Amino acid sequence: MSGIVAGKIALVTGAGSGIGRAACLVLAREGANIIAADQCGLAAQETHRYGVGGKKHICLSVDVSMSESVNMAMSDIIDNYTVPPSIIVNSAGITRDNFLLKMDERMFQKVLDVNLKGTFLVVQAAAKAMIEAKITRGSIVNVASIVGRTGNIGQCNYSASKAGVEAFTKTVAKEFGPFDIRCNAVVPGFIKSPMTDAVPEKVIQKILPHVAMGRMGRPQEVAEVIAFLSSERSSYVNGACVEVTGG
Ligand code: NAP
């Protein structure tokens, strides 16, 4: 099997939809063995049906916001492959939008729990397993968001979680660089996916004039950057947060 990540094992969270699903497809095209993980096991299976089916690919249910679920998933993966994955893509994420004055405390917490704590839990479990197994040339790719840099009306929870993902990424890069495990993030702009399908057309028409390329991005356009950061082609890129926004 050829490709820029040939023979590597890649765990992708949020694999049942959007950017996570596209990352599975691109990493599989580039020769990786894919673990498609999503809170909806059926959605992860659906990703297999879309084109990553094969005997070295597996799918599993995981709730990234729960440490028991993440730890169980990691131990199932090691049972299956005997070694932990050396590529981790944290794409699981949610929005629960509302104006700050109307923001429900539980909705604020829920978004932090999935987007930021979930990224932490998966990275902690995976990095521990990688270091124990003496895996080198590991690569972790987190999915942040441009609104973590710009802020966005109605997204005080989401924007804060994604700013946190960038700071977290840079810290992980410093802690695990000495183990030859890199950590980077992609910072997508406005990407067409089930997450943004909920955005009303009139809001989309207000956003697009601010995008230099004048259109929304496609999940695959983010996934191609994720694959590059996952691969040895980016062997000296560590702690970087790469915008994929169309300008
Ligand atoms: P998506 O289509 O909604 O995909 C996200 C996936 O994550 C869904 O399958 C979702 O399941 C899953 N998920 C949610 N909570 C989970 C949990 N606790 N444990 C495991 N999986 C969980 O959204 P997307 O657009 O592909 O977004 C992927 C990532 O990119 C997210 O982190 C998002 O914040 C980020 N991002 C997206 C955009 C954009 O414009 N689309 C821009 C910047 C950043 P359910 O469908 O069941 O909730």
Q: Is residue 25 part of a domain?
A: yes
Instruction: Confirm or reject: Cβ of 222 under 6 Å from ligand 1.
Output: no
Cβ-contact 10, 85 below 8 angstroms: yes
User: Could you tell which of 19, 26, 42 is best to mutate to test the pocket of ligand 1, judged by most ligand atoms within 8 Å of the CB?
Assistant: 19
**Cα–Cα distances in Å, from 112 out to 28, 72, 107, 156, 188?**
30, 22, 9, 10, 18
2-43 residue pLDDT tens: 899 999 999 999 999 999 999 999 999 999 999 999 999 899
Instruction: Confirm or reject: Cβ of 199 under 6 Å from ligand 1.
Output: no
3-state helix, strand, coil in the chain (%, to 5): 50, 15, 30
DSSP E strands: which ranges in the chain? 9-13, 33-38, 58-61, 87-90, 138-143, 181-188, 241-244
User: Could you tell which of 48, 74, 91 is best to mutate to test the pocket of ligand 1, judged by most ligand atoms within 8 Å of the CB?
Assistant: 91
Looking at ligand 1, which atom is closest to the CA of residue 95? 34
Give me ligand 1 centre to Cα 193, in Å: 9
Q: How many CA atoms lie within 13 A of 179 on its CB side?
A: 21
pLDDT at 55 over 80: no
pLDDT for 37: 98
195-247 residue pLDDT tens: 999 899 999 999 999 999 999 999 999 999 999 999 999 999 999 999 999 99
Name 106's Cβ contacts closer than 8 Å, sequence gap at least 6: none
114-164 residue pLDDT tens: 999 999 999 999 999 999 999 999 999 999 999 999 999 999 999 999 999
Cβ-contact 225, 186 below 8 angstroms: yes
Residue nearest to atom 2 of ligand 1 (CA): 18
State CA 216 to chain mean position distance: 19
Q: Is residue 198 part of a domain?
A: yes
> Could you tell me the residue range of the domain that residue 237 belongs to?
9-244
Cβ-contact 209, 203 below 8 angstroms: no
In the structure, what pLDDT confidence band is assigned to residue 54 with cuts at 50, 70 and 90? confident
CATH number at 92 reads: 3.40.50.720
pLDDT for 242: 99
Residues in the chain: 247
Q: Is residue 2 part of a domain?
A: no
pLDDT at 52 over 90: no
Give me ligand 1 centre to Cα 134, in Å: 31
Q: Is residue 187 part of a domain?
A: yes
Instruction: Confirm or reject: Cβ of 39 under 6 Å from ligand 1.
Output: yes
Angle at 120 between CA 158 and CA 34, to 5 degrees: 100
Instruction: Confirm or reject: Cβ of 187 under 6 Å from ligand 1.
Output: no
Q: Is residue 203 part of a domain?
A: yes
CA 171 – CA 181 distance, rounded (Å): 12
Considering only the C-alpha atoms of the chain, give the largest distance between any 2 of them, rounded to a whole number of Å: 54
Q: Is residue 4 part of a domain?
A: no
Catalytic status, residue 158: yes
**Cα–Cα distances in Å, from 14 out to 37, 178, 207?**
6, 28, 25
Scan for tokens 């590991």, then name that residue: 138
User: Could you tell which of 94, 159, 242 is best to mutate to test the pocket of ligand 1, judged by most ligand atoms within 8 Å of the CB?
Assistant: 94
Q: Which of 50, 81, 158, 236 is catalytic?
A: 158
Q: Is residue 176 part of a domain?
A: yes
pLDDT for 109: 98
Residue nearest to atom 3 of ligand 1 (CA): 195
Q: Is residue 1 part of a domain?
A: no
CA 27 – CA 91 distance, rounded (Å): 14
pLDDT for 143: 99
Q: Rounded to the nearest 10 degrees, what angle do helices 118-132 and 67-81 cross at?
A: 30
Considering its fold, how many domains does the chain have in total?
A: 1
pLDDT for 97: 97
Instruction: Confirm or reject: Cβ of 195 under 6 Å from ligand 1.
Output: yes
In the structure, what pLDDT confidence band is assigned to residue 50 with cuts at 50, 70 and 90? confident
101-127 residue pLDDT tens: 999 999 999 999 999 999 999 999 999
Give me ligand 1 centre to Cα 65, in Å: 13
